[in-house]
Copies of this chain bind each other. A is one copy, B any other.
Amino acid sequence: MQWEQILAPRMARMKASEIRELLKLLDQPDIISFAGGIPDPRMFPVAAFQEAMARVLQPGSADAALQYSVSEGSAQLRRWLAEHMAGIGIPCEADNILITSGSQQALDYLGKLMIGTGDTVLVNWPTYMGALGAFNAYEPKYDRLDPGSNRSAEDFAAVAAANGGKVKFAYLSVDFANPTGETIDRAGRERVLQLAEELDIAIVEDAAYQALRYDGEPVEPILAMEIARKGSIEDCRTIYSGSFSKTLAPGLRIGWVCAARPVINKLVLMKQAADLHSPTLNQMAVADVAARVFDDHVAGLREAYRGRRDRMLAALEREMPEGVRWTKPEGGMFVWITLPKGMDGAELLAQAIKTERVAFVPGRAFYADGSGENTIRLSFSLNDGPAVDEGIARLARVIKAAA
Contact = CB atoms under 8 A, between A and B. Distances in A.
Given A1-B235, A46-B62, A57-B49, A7 B250 contact: no
Given A50-B57, A104-B275, A276-B102, A1 B202 contact: yes
Given A7-B114, A279-B279, 20 more contacts: A1-B200, A6-B168, A6-B169, A8-B138, A10-B112, A14-B270, A14-B273, A44-B62, A44-B67, A46-B66, A66-B250, A101-B101, A104-B273, A104-B274, A130-B273, A133-B273, A134-B273, A137-B274, A252-B280, A253-B276
B279 A252 contact: yes
A304 to B, nearest CB: 15
A141 interface: no
Interface stretch (A150-158, A260-268, A327-335, A362-370): A260-268
Interface string A263-291: 10110011011111111111000000000
Contacts of A115: 8
Interface in A58-90: 59, 62-69
Contacts of A46: 57, 59, 62-63, 66
A116 interface: yes
A251 B102 contact: no
Given A46-B57, A63-B42, A251 B8 contact: no
A69 B24 CA distance: 11
A266 B7 contact: yes
Q: In the assembly, how many copies of this chain are there?
A: 2
A165 B75 CA distance: 42
A322 B41 CA distance: 66
B54 A50 contact: yes
A108 interface: yes
Interface in A242-266: 245, 249-253, 260, 262-263, 265-266
Contacts of A11: 113, 266
Contacts of A133: 272-273
A161 interface: no
A68 B104 contact: no
Interface residues of A, number: 84
Contacts of A273: 14, 104, 108, 130, 133-134, 136-137
A101 B113 CA distance: 20
A343 to B, nearest CB: 28
Contact of A53 (B39, B54, B168): B54
Contacts of A14: 266, 269-270, 273
Contacts of A277: 253
B66 A8 contact: no
B53 A57 contact: yes
7 contacts: A6-B201, A8-B112, A8-B113, A14-B269, A64-B251, A104-B273, A104-B276
Contacts of A15: 269
A180 to B, nearest CB: 21
Interface string A100-119: 01101100100011111101
A251 B274 contact: no
A159 interface: no
A41 B263 CA distance: 33
A293 interface: no
Interface in A20-45: 38-39, 41-42, 44
A315 interface: no
Contacts of A278: 101, 253
